[in-house]
Structure 1
Amino acid sequence: MPDPNELLRTARERTPSRRAPGEQMSRAELAEAVCGWLWETTETKYELDGHYIAKLERGAVRWPGAAYRAGLRFVLNVVDDADLGFVAPGGLAGTDPEPGTSSMLGLEDDLVQAGDESVALLALAEESNVGDLTVEQLHADIVRITQQYLRTPTRPLYIRARAIRDRAFRLLAGRQPPSQTRDLYAAGGWALTLLAWISVDLGRPDVAESHTRTAWACAEAAESDDLRAWVRATQHTAAFWQDDFARATTYAQDGLQYATGSSTLFLASVAAVDLARTGRHAEAREALTIAKRTTVRTDVPELGGPFLCTPERAEGIWSDTHLALGEAQRTLEHADRGIAQFEAAPHAVRNFGSERMVRLQQAKAHLQLSDLDGATEAVSVVLTTPVEYRVRPLIHRISEVAALTRLSRHATDPKARALHDSIRVFTRHPASRATPSK
């Protein structure tokens, strides 16, 4: 008989009922809340019920699907699967129980096809004089996707962004009032930029560039400086993850002329990283000084998610710059400050994707300072990342941490070998091979 999942039961019982004040949340109510949240964030209907929650609490199922785990984490207000007693087969929380199956199965082809489709739409974006109609719902959907990115399974969000793109261009192909054309182009441009960002995270920055070319044309047609800035930021990111730091620098610096809100802080900060990685250290230091002095306007609406640069996200970028400049202690100072700010942020708006990357900056700095215990502590948090959120940049960065553990000064240390081995297990299961959502 399986052991009961006391962590899940305790988490449910400490969560107040939304129907009966003073009572704990019932299994049926928990199931309903999870399904409601999944519908709200993915527009996908799930059939979770109280009987399945009972099976989870009895321990009959120890590793529910990615969507259910995400919903339960949200409703019960926890960060990690392990906090709910979920353990993947093999005993390692957060690892992939079925490497051969995937909720992202076939998405590789979808990524390429979507990129090709975006290229095909380029001519329309550049040349169309067709009108537009009110697209408030499209923009609301875009906001919802950005705010849920890396907080819910990726595939439904990807499909939704693609649908927004296609609907925007279908409307542009019709006859709408010319006065509203810009809004429709903006909706299409933001959806394309989302598709590009997702493509980078899933390991296809080359496909991302197909989306951003058409997104730029949309931004031009919409005359939207905010969209122009974030398209350039996304183009920078695509070039960066192809190790083309010179081109990334050009995109970042060009985007600054359009930046208004937090895109100003993001672009100024990443420009410093790019310059440092190209060996232009004097220019990098100057750019870093400017970035640290940047004040973000608070009167500019922000979409959230990847299109929002908070102070803690900026701290992480600055730590990366100092690392590229060979300044491990300064790297650690900024990374520590960024992590403290991430941890203090409300759960609903906390950017866990950026936070994980900053923790790896912490680990690198600790390793360069020969502090294996500090590096292990920083990495241990990242190792709990659910499989569906192990995006390619995260896999790339944690692999760099593993490489640092093999340096001669650490090579014979048992702690370094243990850290290296734990990262190897983690990297075998990237997000593109996540478990099926149920």
Structure 2
Amino acid sequence: MSEPNELLRAARERTPSRLAPGEHMSRAELADTICAWLWDTTEIKYELDGHYIAKLERGAVRWPGAAYRSGLRHVLDVAADNELGFFPPSGASPIEPDSVPPSMVGHDDDLINAGDESIALLSFAEESNVGELTVEQLQADIERIAQSYLRTPTRPLFAKSRAIRDRAFGLLAGNQSPGQSRDLYSAAGWAITLLAWMSTDLGRPDIAEGHTRTAWACAEAADHDVLRGWIRATQHTAAFWQEDFSRAAAYAEDGLRYAAGTSRLFLASAASVDLARAGRPDKARELLDLARTLAVHPAESEPGGVLICTPERAEGLWADTHLAFGEAQRTADQADHSVALFEAAPYSLRNLGSERMARLQQAKARLLLGELDGALEAVEPVLQTQMEYRVRPLIQRLAEVAALTSPYARSPKGRMLRERIAEYIQRPGHLMSPHRRIVAPPQTTPQIHLVRRSREDQE
């Protein structure tokens, strides 16, 4: 007989009902609320009902599909599946560390086809001068995607961005005023920029670059500096994750000519990292100093989410710059402050991808300072990242943390840590349960995670 899922039931019963004041949420209300949220974020209709919630609470289903898990986390206000009693099934097949990242599984054809399509639209974007329709709904959809990214499954968000791109270009084939044409080009440019960002996260920065060339043509047609700034930020990111730091810096520095809103803060901060890694410390410090002087004033047209730079996101980048300078203590201080700001922000507004990167900067700094317990504490939340959100850059950063654990391989905790890393690479389907976490007694050692996406077995 299945063991009841008491964590899920307790989470539901402490969640206030939106229909009956003073009562907790019923199973049926929970299911309806999840379906409404999934429709709002993905425009896909799900058939979740109270009977399925009952199956989950009885423990008849121990690992619901990714969409249902994301909905449960959102409505019940938790950060991780294991807080709801969900752990991936055992028996995942081993993979090599260099194989496809978890969030990339099933996306390869989509990524390649979408990249080819954006490239094919380049000449149209450069030459076309027509279009029609108000783009308020397109802009609202873009904001929803940007703010939902790394919170809901990637595939429907990728498909929705692609649909917005195609819809905007379809409207541009009609007949409209020059102002309406600019609005449509802007919508298309933002949608393609999101496609490029997702393509980089899914392990194909080469395809992302094809998207950004067409996005740039759209920004030129729209004469939209905020969009130009974020396209340059996206091009920087694609080049950075190909370890072409000089080209990444060139994109970021060029973007500063156009940047408005918070893209200027992101570009100055990113350029400082690029230049430090490219061996140009004086220029890197100049850009770092510039970034520290910039106030954060979001532009009205910035979609938010991944396409906005908050102070905590910028400080995570500054920590990376200090790390490139070899300044371990300053890296630690900067990363600690970044993480503190993330934790102080409302959960619904936190950029979870950037927060995980800041925690890994904490871990690197602690390892360099000989503070293994601190490194373990920093890495632990990252190791609980849901499998569908473990993007390629996150895996790469975790591998970098793993490389810094070598000096501790002879200590008992060091050996345990390295075994855990090896196990995780070979069996990426396992989230660490609370019983398997590496708990640090007062000495030192860190830990890592490399992962593969689980099968979505929606029931």
TM-score, normalisation: structure 1: 0.94
Structure 1 regions of 5+ residues with no counterpart? Answer: 93-98
Give 2:456's aligned residue. Answer: 436
The 1:104/1:293 distance shift into structure 2, 3 A limit, reads: closer
Which structure 1 residue ranges, 4+ long, deviate > 6 Å from structure 2?
99-103
Work out whether residues 4 and 59 of structure 1, in 8 Å CA contact, stay in contact via their aligned partners in 2.
yes
Give 1:258's aligned residue. Answer: 258
SS in 1 for 2:384: coil
Give 2:277's aligned residue. Answer: 277
Correspondence list, 1:17-28, <5 A: 17-28=17-28
Give 1:332's aligned residue. Answer: 332
- Cα distance, 1:426 vs. partner? 4.2
Work out whether residues 111 and 207 of structure 1, in 8 Å CA contact, stay in contact via their aligned partners in 2.
yes
Work out whether residues 265 and 294 of structure 1, in 8 Å CA contact, stay in contact via their aligned partners in 2.
yes
SS in 1 for 2:294: coil
- Cα distance, 1:437 vs. partner? 6.0
The 1:150/1:101 distance shift into structure 2, 3 A limit, reads: closer
For residues 79 and 302 of structure 2, the distance between their equivalents in structure 1, rounded to whole angstroms, comes to 24
SS in 1 for 2:83: helix
Residue type at the aligned position of 1:116: D
Work out whether residues 149 and 157 of structure 1, in 8 Å CA contact, stay in contact via their aligned partners in 2.
yes
Counterpart among 410, 420, 423 of residue 412 in structure 1: 410
- Cα distance, 1:130 vs. partner? 1.7
- Cα distance, 1:120 vs. partner? 0.3
CA RMSD of aligned residues (A): 2.0
Give 2:435's aligned residue. Answer: none
For residues 261 and 415 of structure 1, the distance between their equivalents in structure 2, rounded to whole angstroms, comes to 46
Give 1:199's aligned residue. Answer: 199
Work out whether residues 8 and 57 of structure 1, in 8 Å CA contact, stay in contact via their aligned partners in 2.
yes
Q: Deviations over 1:406-437 (max 9, x none)?
A: 2xx31212222333333444455477734326
Residue type at the aligned position of 1:220: E
Give 1:221's aligned residue. Answer: 221
- Cα distance, 1:274 vs. partner? 0.3
Correspondence list, 1:396-411, <5 A: 396-406=396-406, 409-411=407-409
The 1:308/1:417 distance shift into structure 2, 3 A limit, reads: farther
Work out whether residues 88 and 454 of structure 2, in 8 Å CA contact, stay in contact via their aligned partners in 1.
no
Residue type at the aligned position of 2:143: V
Query: Mean Cα displacement is larger for which, 281-290 or 13-22?
Result: 281-290
Residue type at the aligned position of 2:244: D
- Cα distance, 1:305 vs. partner? 1.2
Work out whether residues 260 and 300 of structure 1, in 8 Å CA contact, stay in contact via their aligned partners in 2.
no
The 1:129/1:301 distance shift into structure 2, 3 A limit, reads: closer
Give 1:232's aligned residue. Answer: 232
- Cα distance, 1:105 vs. partner? 4.7
Are 1:113 and 2:113 counterparts? Answer: yes
Residue type at the aligned position of 2:47: E
Work out whether residues 168 and 185 of structure 1, in 8 Å CA contact, stay in contact via their aligned partners in 2.
yes
Identity of aligned residues (%): 67
Query: Mean Cα displacement is larger for which, 238-247 or 124-133?
Result: 124-133
Residue type at the aligned position of 2:302: E
Give 2:136's aligned residue. Answer: 136
Give 2:360's aligned residue. Answer: 360
SS in 2 for 1:195: helix
SS in 2 for 1:336: helix
Are 1:290 and 2:290 counterparts? Answer: yes
- Cα distance, 1:349 vs. partner? 0.7
- Cα distance, 1:179 vs. partner? 2.9
The 1:30/1:385 distance shift into structure 2, 3 A limit, reads: same
Work out whether residues 146 and 305 of structure 2, in 8 Å CA contact, stay in contact via their aligned partners in 1.
yes
Give 1:370's aligned residue. Answer: 370
SS in 1 for 2:167: helix
- Cα distance, 1:76 vs. partner? 0.3
Give 2:31's aligned residue. Answer: 31
Correspondence list, 1:155-194, <5 A: 155-194=155-194
Work out whether residues 273 and 284 of structure 1, in 8 Å CA contact, stay in contact via their aligned partners in 2.
yes
Work out whether residues 323 and 331 of structure 2, in 8 Å CA contact, stay in contact via their aligned partners in 1.
yes
- Cα distance, 1:287 vs. partner? 1.4
Work out whether residues 246 and 274 of structure 1, in 8 Å CA contact, stay in contact via their aligned partners in 2.
yes
For residues 262 and 139 of structure 1, the distance between their equivalents in structure 2, rounded to whole angstroms, comes to 18
For residues 179 and 296 of structure 1, the distance between their equivalents in structure 2, rounded to whole angstroms, comes to 29
Work out whether residues 391 and 431 of structure 1, in 8 Å CA contact, stay in contact via their aligned partners in 2.
no
SS in 1 for 2:404: helix
Work out whether residues 5 and 85 of structure 2, in 8 Å CA contact, stay in contact via their aligned partners in 1.
yes
SS in 1 for 2:408: coil
SS in 2 for 1:433: coil
Work out whether residues 68 and 437 of structure 1, in 8 Å CA contact, stay in contact via their aligned partners in 2.
no
Query: Mean Cα displacement is larger for which, 113-122 or 52-61?
Result: 52-61
- Cα distance, 1:308 vs. partner? 0.8
For residues 382 and 102 of structure 2, the distance between their equivalents in structure 1, rounded to whole angstroms, comes to 21
Give 2:307's aligned residue. Answer: 307
Q: Deviations over 1:298-327 (max 9, x none)?
A: 564431111111111011000000000100
Give 1:79's aligned residue. Answer: 79
The 1:366/1:319 distance shift into structure 2, 3 A limit, reads: same
Q: Deviations over 1:137-168 (max 9, x none)?
A: 11110000001000000000000000000111
The 1:36/1:44 distance shift into structure 2, 3 A limit, reads: same
The 1:124/1:437 distance shift into structure 2, 3 A limit, reads: farther
SS in 1 for 2:129: coil
For residues 423 and 417 of structure 1, the distance between their equivalents in structure 2, rounded to whole angstroms, comes to 10
Residue type at the aligned position of 1:381: P
Question: How many residue pairs are counted as aligned between the two chains?
Answer: 431
For residues 457 and 165 of structure 2, the distance between their equivalents in structure 1, rounded to whole angstroms, comes to 24
Are 1:245 and 2:245 counterparts? Answer: yes
TM-score, normalisation: structure 2: 0.90
The 1:332/1:355 distance shift into structure 2, 3 A limit, reads: same
Work out whether residues 313 and 354 of structure 1, in 8 Å CA contact, stay in contact via their aligned partners in 2.
yes
Query: Mean Cα displacement is larger for which, 192-201 or 169-178?
Result: 169-178
Residue type at the aligned position of 1:435: R
Residue type at the aligned position of 1:282: D
